[in-house]
Amino acid sequence: MRDRIIFALQLLFTLIVAAFLAVPAALSIAAGVTVNYFRGIQSGVTLQWVAQVLDLYAGTIMASIAIALGTLLVTLVVGVPAAYALYVRGGRLARLVEEIITLPVAIPGLALALGLLLSYGGFGNFRRSWLFILAGHVIFTMPFMVRSVMAIFASIDVKSLDEGAASLGAAPWRRFVDVIVPNAAPGILAGSLMVVTLSLGEFNLTWMLHTPLTKTLPVGLADSYASMRLEVASAYTLIFFVMIIPLLVAMQWIGERGSAK
Amino acid sequence: MDRREGECEVTMMIRHGAALKVENCGKTFADGTCALARATLDIAQSETLVLLGPSGCGKTTLLRIVAGLEMPDAGGRVLFDGKDLTRQPIEKRNVGMVFQSYALFPNMTVAENIGYGLRIRGVSRLERAARVAELITLTNLGGLEHRRIDQLSGGQRQRVALARAVAIRPSVLLLDEPLTALDAALRERLRGELNGLLRTLGITAIYVTHDQAEAMELGDRIVVMRKGAIAQVGTPREIYFTPADRFVAEFVGAANIIEAPIESGDLILPGGRQPVGSTGSRARAVAMVRPETIRIVDADKASLTGIVDSIRFAGDRQRIIVRDAAAIPLALDVPHTIHVRAGERIGLSIAADSIRLLPAEG
Ligand SMILES: Nc1ncnc2c1ncn2[C@@H]1O[C@H](COP(=O)(O)OP(=O)(O)O)[C@@H](O)[C@H]1O
Ligand SMILES: [Mg+2]
């Protein structure tokens, strides 16, 4: 009896997931390759919408990729050494800094963007440049990088490794390069994938920060939803899926490999 | 320390390493834990000093202060060959450290782990390979050079950690409970190997353990610690035969601690009188007797008698518990050739000079 209730609940859950996640995703993908969505799939399958999107919005796609890679670079170069310093130093100051870095996770992207605009919106050149969006993305994604790296530090007892290398005469930078980074690689990789995924998909904050000349893919997507025919918007979504799904799969795969160890 | 000196044949008995001085070093952690009361210690060149005490008594903290991993409280100093290194971080002290967790690098092979310190020092690839090979032989790791760390057994890891620490010809070798993570049989064997190695290398070493058998075997001198303070410093024999207080007596080996009054040089016990080798009287004395120093004699001729309570087989000897001789049951260690039965009245003979009067506490 109990088993059947559990089975029924599982089935219900699966159906809800299917109804609200899988079906909409599948439909919008289908719409992106349908000649005329209102006439249905029998109107024919085409890549013309995809081509049109690539033609119209190539800029936003390239911009998103560039911003994601830039964000990744900054979070790697700043976040990983910061996580190392925070972890090895320990103490109250380190915990405080960690809290501050983590804060953006809890703050809505809109509020974060408003804060940036209030503080730096007056710096016209900065405001108008891609760097403004990059800054927003870095703030938004940094906690995920730092957290992911700190988590692996805890699981590989990085403090001992660090002290071990120090006892053999290695200065902090040398220890970081020779011992810390190689052993933390899976966590750094997981953090990197997360940063790229989040940056590619970020909308709230970017929408507030963007100018007509600095649009990322999700902002362009919103544009197309508002002003283009449904098939174009769907094709755009399709392109987004094609970019993001491999990253999600890779993330899942790394996570599973990590927990299998 | 002259690096050249280390080039000598390792199998010769040579004095190596620095003479150490720990001066007035205490440690209060940021959270207010006073882990170590101010302590001063001299460690001679080539000496093996053991820090012995129960878990949490501050051994690791003291070792980490010497290593440069913890800063002593203001006023404390650490000197290597007379040079004040208190403000130098560990990487500038040329110490070899074997951590309790070994802290081996999982991203490197056995040989790379052992050679890492030399790589940092800019030793050429060729020289490094030679030195690593030498250490692989010395620590019986032949054939495992290219293994990864997670492919090694506990004992092998311990030896890699040791080889890695020794490879850099450190001024002092610091070992934090290097055998604790291993099972009993392996621990015993590696203890012997480690002892041989320390003698062979002739290097100044500080060895932390909570195991008194390890301390006895390995230490030139032992520092017994209790609750962050030094209870006694001495050779293993001094610590064993003339413990400074009840804590040391009970922590190092088995001990009967007898509380009784003394009258004209005799302990007055329920089972008779026992001379203690000093004259005078005291209302209350604390005396220590090691179980193996008590002999069984004919009850009729003995001045101290008791009743056999139980007999425990202990492999190489038997332990006999005797009641009614003193206020507490006395433990005796005697060979198997002695036959007694439970309930039998026996005489006890204790040489006066094997009784150690301890300061009464409180
Ligand atoms: N980093 C630290 N912060 C606060 N307390 C500590 C720290 N390290 C050790 N202690 C405390 O100091 C005392 C001595 O610890 P330790 O030197 O590790 O003892 P042992 O090595 O003899 O077991 C313990 O009570 C321990 O909890
Ligand atoms: Mg310890």
What are the tens digits of pLDDT across the range A106-120? 888 888 888 889 888
CB nearest B121 (choices: A157, A169, A182): A169
Q: Is A160 on the interface with B (CB under 8 A)?
A: yes
With an 8 Å Cβ cutoff, are B91 and A167 in contact?
A: yes
Rounded alpha-carbon distances, angstroms, from residue A158 to A178, B92, B98, B279:
12, 20, 16, 61
CATH superfamily of A48-260: MetI-like (1.10.3720.10)
CA of B92 vs chain A CAs: smallest distance (Å): 6
Q: What are phi and psi of B69, to 5 degrees?
A: -90, -20
Beta bridge pairs of residue B273: B268
Return the residue matching tokens 């005329």: A36
Let me know: does B361 contact B249? Beta carbons within 8 Å.
Answer: no
Residue-level pLDDT at B185: 86
Let me know: does A132 contact A120? Beta carbons within 8 Å.
Answer: yes
Residue-level pLDDT at B121: 96
Which residues of chain B lie closer than 8 angstroms to A92, CB-CB? 30
Which residues of chain B lie closer than 8 angstroms to A170, CB-CB? 91, 116, 120
Return the residue matching tokens 């599973």: A256
CATH fold, domain B255-358, is OB fold (Dihydrolipoamide Acetyltransferase, E2P) (2.40.50)
B12 pLDDT higher than 50: no
Q: Does domain B5-94+170-248 have CATH number 3.40.50.300?
A: yes
Angle at A175 between CA A174 and CA A179, to 5 degrees: 120
DSSP calls for B3-65: GGGGGS-TTS---BS--EEEEEEEEE-TTS-EEEEEEEEEE-TT-EEEEE-STTSSHHHHHHH
CB nearest B99 (choices: A163, A170, A174): A163
What CA–CA distance (Å, rounded) separates B348 from A136? 86
Residue-level pLDDT at A21: 85
Which residue puts its alpha carbon closest to atom 1 of ligand 1? Answer: B29
Rounded alpha-carbon distances, angstroms, from residue B261 to B267, B278, B357, B360:
6, 13, 12, 12
- Mind listing the pLDDT tens digit for each residue in B141-177? 999 999 999 999 999 999 999 999 999 999 999 999 9
Residue B105 CB–ligand 1 contact under 6 Å = no
Sheet order of strands, B282-289 included? B272-275, B266-269, B256-263, B282-289, B355-358
Residue-level pLDDT at A259: 65
DSSP calls for B47-63: -EEEEE-STTSSHHHHH
When pLDDT is cut at 50, 70 and 90, the band that residue A57 belongs to is confident
- Per mean pLDDT, which range of A73-87, A214-228, B101-115, B340-354 is the poorest? A214-228
Q: What would the two tokens of residue B130 be?
A: 């030679």
ipTM comes to 0.85
Q: Is A167 on the interface with B (CB under 8 A)?
A: yes
A248 pLDDT higher than 90: no
Let me know: does B18 contact B177? Beta carbons within 8 Å.
Answer: no
B327 pLDDT higher than 60: yes
What is the CA(B59)–ligand 2 centre distance, in A? 6
Residue-level pLDDT at A75: 96
Residue B359 is given by DSSP the state P
Q: Domain-by-domain residue ranges, chain A?
A: 48-260
With an 8 Å Cβ cutoff, are A179 and B107 in contact?
A: yes
Which residues contact residue A200 at a Cβ distance below 8 angstroms, ignoring those fewer than 6 apart? A64, A65, A68, A217, A218, A240, A243, A244, A247
Residue B243 CB–ligand 1 contact under 6 Å = no
Q: Per-residue pLDDT averaged across B125-145, rounded? A: 94
Q: Per-residue pLDDT averaged across A234-250, rounded? A: 87
With an 8 Å Cβ cutoff, are B106 and A169 in contact?
A: no
Ion ligand 2 residues within 5 Å by Cβ: B 60
Rounded alpha-carbon distances, angstroms, from residue B28 to B53, B60, B335:
19, 13, 48
Atom of ligand 1 nearest to the CA of B64: 17
pTM: 0.85
Helix (H, G, I), strand (E, B) or coil at A7: helix
Let me know: does A224 contact A53? Beta carbons within 8 Å.
Answer: yes
When pLDDT is cut at 50, 70 and 90, the band that residue B9 belongs to is very low
Average pLDDT, chain B: 91
Atom of ligand 1 nearest to the CA of B51: 22
Angle at A70 between CA A66 and CA A74, to 5 degrees: 175
Which residue puts its alpha carbon closest to atom 3 of ligand 1? Answer: B29
- Per mean pLDDT, which range of A201-205, B35-39, B204-208 is the poorest? A201-205
Residue B325 is given by DSSP the state S
Q: Per-residue pLDDT averaged across A37-52, rounded? A: 85
Chain-centre distance of CA B259, in angstroms?
Answer: 28
Q: What would the two tokens of residue B104 be?
A: 């081996």
Q: Domain-by-domain residue ranges, chain B?
A: 5-94+170-248, 255-358
Let me know: does A199 contact A209? Beta carbons within 8 Å.
Answer: no
